[in-house]
Amino acid sequence: MVRINLTVDGARVADDVEPRMLLVHYLREKLGKTGTVVGCDTSNCGACTVHLDGTSVKSCNVLAVQADGGEVTTIEGLAQDGQLHPVQEAFRECHGLQCGYCTPGMIMQSVDLLKDNPNPSEEEIRLGLEGNLCRCTGYHNIVRAVQHAAGAGGTQAAGQTEAVQA
């Protein structure tokens, strides 16, 4: 067992973990943060995306011991004082989900994308989310949600998206 100290969603935690434990399993099974889901287990789908030291990572592809000394933010740490994060709000507003399984990862990656690029084009959004798969194929509304969150304007963005579809 290896001792790790880290901050998760603003709270300091310390634990003894097996070196082989994946960060996603640590978050879910040790800390009970089941908002971060395991999708594919092969680092393809991005459903398990969290932020580690300020950038997005696939938490099934990071060992818990590698997060020692680091700061992790999960989907459960986005809302502040009962207020949804603007990207969460936008996903709700634009119905950026169907079954919802990919949503935690989509939102975490969208937050990361908007941090680096506050006004992304549709292509930049699709490229920025290329590591996140939606098996319902609900990508159009996900892109609209990111545009909405970026302040690109809900109805205008929706019109553009429909024009692309047509």
Partner 1 sequence: MIPAQFDYLAPSTVEEALAALAQHGDEAKILAGGQSLLPVLRMRLNAPEMVIDLGKITSLRGVRDDGDAIVVGAMTQHSVVGSDPLVAEHAALVSKAVEHLADVQIRHRGTFGGALAHADPAGDLGAPALALGAQFVIQGPGGTRTVPAEEFFVDLFETAIGEDEILTEVRLPKHTGWGAHYEKFVRVAHQWPIVAVAAAVRVDGGSIAEARVGLTNMGNTPVRAHAVEQALVGQPATPDGVRDAAARAAEGTNPPSDLNGDADYRRHLATVLTRRAVLTAAGATG
Angle at 93 between CA 89 and CA 97, to 5 degrees: 90
- Pick the closest to residue 50 from 18, 10, 9, 98 (CA basis): 9
Task: Return d(Cα 20, Cα 85) in angstroms, integer.
Answer: 33
Minimum distance of partner 1 from residue 166's CB (angstroms): 23
DSSP letters spanning 114-146 = HHH-SS--HHHHHHHTTT---TT--HHHHHHHH
Residue placing its CB nearer to partner 1 in the complex, 18 or 95: 18
Residue placing its CB nearer to partner 1 in the complex, 53 or 162: 53
Which residues are near partner 1 by CB under 8 A? 2, 18-22, 25, 41-44, 46, 49, 52, 55-58, 60-63, 65-66, 68, 109, 112-113, 127-128, 130-131
Residue placing its CB nearer to partner 1 in the complex, 83 or 119: 119
Minimum distance of partner 1 from residue 46's CB (angstroms): 6
Minimum distance of partner 1 from residue 93's CB (angstroms): 24
Residue placing its CB nearer to partner 1 in the complex, 65 or 158: 65
**Which residue has 């594919």 as its token pair?**
40
